[in-house]
Amino acid sequence: MRLICAAVSLLLLAGCSSYRSDSGQVTQVPADRLLAFQDPVDGGGRIVVNRDMGGLGSGCYIAVHVDRQLAARIGIGEEASFQVPSGDRIIGIGIDETDDTLCSKGRLRREKAAHVEAGQSEHFRIVSDNREGFAILADSPDAQ
């Protein structure tokens, strides 16, 4: 009986960790949740953010910030693309403060520096696990 309880507990904890979506499962963030950086920028590049699948926070959107400006509200298995000027950018995630449920009551702020070249794309991935919470990591477009 103890073995079964321990195994079930481990399975439940492991279920909170996120996993990369298959490329066929990834959907684009709907236009009503893309809030900034959607217009092409002359000499600019692109930042692409993909949120993993997983149980932790799956009922909540995560706020994506570009240069500390709210750019999108992203759900699990979704991808958002942002048109940005070339140069050094800050990509971050935080709680969705526009939500009026418990999802907006937590504390979350993670940021990464990105250098965007003209005509190039920088990719990031939002991951979660039961020990560390949410994180944003640099990613490769062909890491699928």
CATH at 19 = 2.60.40.1120
- pLDDT single digits (tens) 2-24: 555 444 444 444 445 665 666 67
**R_g of the chain, CA atoms, integer Å:** 16
In-domain check, residue 61 = yes
In-domain check, residue 87 = yes
Residue 44 reports pLDDT greater than 50? yes
Number of domains into which the chain is organized: 1
Report which listed range, 56-60, 65-69, 94-98, is most confident: 65-69
Separation CA 55–CA 73 (nearest Å): 17
- pLDDT single digits (tens) 100-125: 777 777 788 999 999 999 999 999 99
In-domain check, residue 45 = yes
Separation CA 84–CA 44 (nearest Å): 6
In-domain check, residue 144 = no
Cβ atoms of 108 and 64 closer than 8 Å = no
Separation CA 96–CA 63 (nearest Å): 5
Residue 129 reports pLDDT greater than 50? yes
Residue 91 lies in domain? 2-139
In-domain check, residue 109 = yes
* Model pLDDT, residue 100: 73
In-domain check, residue 76 = yes
Query: What is the average per-residue pLDDT within 67-80?
Result: 95
Question: 98 to each of 8, 30, 47, 113, 138, how far by Cα in Å?
Answer: 36, 16, 23, 25, 26
Separation CA 136–CA 32 (nearest Å): 23
Residue 88 reports pLDDT greater than 50? yes
